Chains A and B, each alone.
Chain A
C-alpha cells in the first residue's frame, strides 16, 4: 500500500511537469495548429538560466523570475525569426522549423552552459514529508501546485478575458478573426511568450528534483507531447489530465515492471492514442466545411 502510494507521489510529480509542457503545446497549437517541438527546450532553459543566474549571485526567486522572462522573450524571438517569416507555409513545414529551432537552442545551450549536469537548491528545503508510510519532497508540492495554478490561470484567461477569447477565435478561423479586427500576429507572439514562459516555469520548479543539462529538453518535449495527445491536442483540460496520466503510467511502469521500460511507457501511449482514439480523451472532432 505504502509502496503504491510512493509510486503515485513520484508519478504525480513528474506528471505535473509533463502537464506544464503539454499546456505549452496546447497554447501554440491553438493559436496556429503548429506542434512546437522546441517546447522541451524552454523547460531546459528555465532550469539552466535559473542555475546560471543563481550561481552568478542572484537570489533564487529573482533568478527564477528572470529565467521565465528571458525564456518568454526567446519564445517571442523564435516566433519572429523562425515562424513568422514562413507564414503561409504548410503546417508540416512549420513543425519541422520548430524541430530545427529545438536543435539550435540545444546546441547554443551546450556552448553557453556547458555539458555538465546542473541544479540549484529546492525552494523549501529537502526534508521529505511523510504521508501514510510514503514520502514526498516539498519541491514536489511546488511542482504540482505550479501545474494546477497555471491551468487555473489559463482557464480564466481563455474563458474570461477578451484577449483570451481572441486567441481562441484565431485558432478557430484565422481569417475570420482578422475580419473582426483581431491582430492575429500579436496573438501568435503572445502564444509563444506564454508557452515559453510556462515551459520555463516547469524547468524552474522541476530542476531541484530532476536536475538539468543542455539535452534534457527533448525528453520533456516527447512526454509532454504524449500527454497533450492523450488528452486531446488543443484542449487545456486534456493537457492537464494527459500530462498527469503519462507521469503516473511512467511511475507505475518503473515501479511494477522495470525502470528500464519507464521511457517506453510514453511512446506506447502515443501509439495507442494514434491507433484507437486519434482525437484523444477530450479532443473535438474537426469541423471544417467548405
Chain B
C-alpha cells in the first residue's frame, strides 16, 4: 500500500538554529510511526510543520498524494489530517460533549437559514453529531463526564477528550503529541488500546511519546531525531539496538517523562 503521509527533506530554522533539518519519512494506512528523541530534538516542531502551525522553509509534505506543504490547519483538517497537542488545545469553557461535537463541524454542512428555522434536516444533523460525539466519548471512557465543563477535567481526561475530538473528524492521518503524558498506568494502557484500535481501522498514526514502553509496544516503525536531524529509523527492535540511538537518547536521557 502506498504512503498516506510522506515528508521529504522537511526543515525549519529559528534564527541561527536549525530546529529540524532535512527529515524524511512516510506513513502508510494502518501503520503506527513513532518519532522519538531527547528533549528539544525537534519532535513537536516537526509536528507543527506537518499540521500547518509552522511554515517549513525547506521540504515537502504530501498527504494522500497531494502536496499540502504549509497548508493552513483548517484546510488540512478538511483533507483528513487531525492532531492533538502536547500542551492541549481544548475549548476550555465548553462542555466535554460540545468539544467532541465541534469535531463534527466538517461533517455538518447546512445553511444558516435552515439552522435558524430549526428545519428537520438541521435538527437531525445536530442529533447525529451528538450521538456520534457521545459514542466517541464512550470510546475514550469519558461518557460520564459529557455534561461537565471541559476546563474542570483532569489532565489525563483532557488528553483523551482531545483524542476523541480528533477522531470525530474521521481522519486519514492522526498526529498524537504525547498522548500518554500525565496519564497514570491504567489510563496509559487505555490509550495504548485506543491507538492500536484506531490504527487497525486504517488510520495512519504519527506518534510523539516519551513513554518508551508504550512506544516499543505499539509502534510499527520508529524515527529517531536528535538536534533536529534524523539519526536512525527502523522497527522497534532494530532502533533500540542502534548504538547512535542509545548514545543520543536511551543512554543519556535520565528523565524520560520530562516534557520536551
Residue ranges of A at the interface with B (Cβ–Cβ < 8 Å): 156-157, 160-166, 168-169, 172-173, 175-184, 284, 287-290
Question: Do A162 and B108 touch (CB < 8 A)?
Answer: yes
Question: Do B110 and A180 touch (CB < 8 A)?
Answer: no
Question: Do B92 and A181 touch (CB < 8 A)?
Answer: no
Question: Do B106 and A180 touch (CB < 8 A)?
Answer: yes
Question: Do B74 and A184 touch (CB < 8 A)?
Answer: yes
Distance in angstroms between the alpha carbons of A173 and B93 in the assembled complex: 9
Question: Do A160 and B74 touch (CB < 8 A)?
Answer: no
Residues of B within 8 A of A183 (CB): 74
Question: Do A179 and B92 touch (CB < 8 A)?
Answer: no
- How distant is A131 from chain B, measured CB to nearest CB, in Å? 34
Residues of A within 8 A of B94 (CB): 168-169, 172
B237 at the binding interface (Cβ < 8 Å): no
Question: Do B118 and A175 touch (CB < 8 A)?
Answer: no
Give B31-66 as 1s and 0s: 1 = Cβ < 8 Å from A's Cβ atoms.
000000000000000000001010000000000000
Question: Do A161 and B115 touch (CB < 8 A)?
Answer: yes
B207 at the binding interface (Cβ < 8 Å): no
Question: Do A289 and B151 touch (CB < 8 A)?
Answer: yes
Question: Do A169 and B115 touch (CB < 8 A)?
Answer: no
How big is the B interface, by class?
35 or more
Residue ranges of B at the interface with A (Cβ–Cβ < 8 Å): 51, 53, 72-74, 77-78, 82-83, 85, 87-94, 102-103, 105-106, 108-110, 112, 115-116, 118, 149, 151, 165-166, 168-169
Question: Do B151 and A287 touch (CB < 8 A)?
Answer: yes
Residues of B within 8 A of A176 (CB): 89-91, 102, 165
11 A-B pairs whose Cβ atoms sit less than 8 Å apart in the complex: A162-B110, A165-B102, A173-B91, A173-B92, A177-B102, A178-B77, A180-B77, A180-B102, A181-B77, A289-B88, A289-B151
Instruction: Report the nearest B residue to A187, measured CB to CB.
Output: B74
> Within the complex, which residue of B73, B83, B90, B118 is in contact with A173, where a contact is CB–CB below 8 Å?
B90
Question: Do A161 and B116 touch (CB < 8 A)?
Answer: yes
Residues of B within 8 A of A156 (CB): 116
Question: Do A181 and B78 touch (CB < 8 A)?
Answer: yes
Question: Do B105 and A178 touch (CB < 8 A)?
Answer: no
Residues of A within 8 A of B151 (CB): 287, 289
> Given the interface contacts A162-B108, A184-B74, A289-B92, does A179 sit within 8 Å of B116 by beta carbon?
no
Distance in angstroms between the alpha carbons of A235 and B98 in the assembled complex: 19
Distance in angstroms between the alpha carbons of A182 and B103 in the assembled complex: 10
> Within the complex, which residue of A160, A181, A287 is in contact with B105, where a contact is CB–CB below 8 Å?
A181
Distance in angstroms between the alpha carbons of A176 and B82 in the assembled complex: 11
> Within the complex, which residue of A180, A181, A182, A287 is in contact with B93, where a contact is CB–CB below 8 Å?
A287
Distance in angstroms between the alpha carbons of A139 and B208 in the assembled complex: 63
Residues of B within 8 A of A169 (CB): 91, 94, 102, 105
Distance in angstroms between the alpha carbons of A184 and B83 in the assembled complex: 17
Question: Do B89 and A173 touch (CB < 8 A)?
Answer: yes
> Within the complex, which residue of B83, B91, B109 is in contact with A172, where a contact is CB–CB below 8 Å?
B91
